Amino acid sequence: MQEIAQQLMAARNADKRIAPEDYPAHILSNEDALAVQRTSAKEYGAIGAWKIAKDGEGTPLFAPIFTRDICRSGADFSEGKGIAYGVEIEVAFELTKDLKVLPLSDDALWEAIGKVYMVIELVRHRLAEPSKAKGALNLADNMGNAGFVIGDEIPKYDRSKLGEAVLKLDINGESIIDGPARNGLGDPVALLKNALKGIGEHCGGFKAGQIITTGSFSGCTYYPVGSQVKASFPELGSEVAVTL
């Protein structure tokens, strides 16, 4: 696993992609991929957020987002350097307590959720053609996460309807989405509960102060660096923006 981790870290540091013919011959299991994540975390330092998902069978998936890759709304993320980023508009939870297992009740879970934010996840795989990756190599690559933009807190929301919202998304002043949208992974709260069935002590578990992001309302579309992204959930009173 050390060799695979080094290969992915070298690609990240050089802002390059690994060609399919150079993918590891070994087919990774999920446990292998998590071992690679832990090795990478030792290199990249503090974890400020997490990306969570699930596979087709409902198995929880998660990947750390490093503090060095997190910025606030309005930032110029890459300063015009590098290859295109995928843009995903998401809802995220900030934790007030450590969470390593699923709490016994919904009330206990919500006691551990401090704030709900509108965010942008930025995607830039270290794999040139992720669809050709075998096994859990995409999971080892932190599910393609390359950056994270924290937008406004969502001040008022219905806990049972966080998986749907009116979304406005503009790229370079052009309207891309303007209307009802749904989280492609379903209810964000259910996704968090599912992740808590598996996170345990992995990379220290979900910790107070970290932000858990929960699946895209916009799909994942790639735009060149320098593109200006502005999004809002107008009915929820929140916005987020970034220059790629």
How far is it, in rounded angstroms, from Cα 205 to Cα 101? 9
Q: What is the pLDDT of residues 13-31, one digit of tens each?
A: 888 899 999 998 889 999 9
Contact of 223 with 78, CB cutoff 8 Å: no
Cα separation, 52 vs 189, whole angstroms: 11
Report d(CA 233, CA 154) in Å as an integer.
Answer: 9
* Structural domain count of the chain: 1
One-letter amino acid of 110 = W
The DSSP element (H or E) to which 41 belongs, if any, is helix 30-44
Which structural domain, as residue segments, surrounds residue 197?
2-243
Average pLDDT of span 47-72 = 96
SS3 at position 210: coil
**How large is the average pLDDT for residues 184-208?**
96
Give the CATH number of the domain where residue 141 resides. Answer: 3.90.850.10
Cβ atoms 69, 149 nearer than 8 A: no
Task: Quick: pLDDT tens for 130-173.
Answer: 999 889 999 999 999 999 999 999 999 999 999 999 999 999 99
Q: How far apart are CA 72 and CA 152, in angstroms?
A: 9
Contact in structure between 119 and 88 (CB atoms under 8 Å): no
CA–CA dist 214, 163 (Å, integer): 9
Q: What is the pTM of this model?
A: 0.95
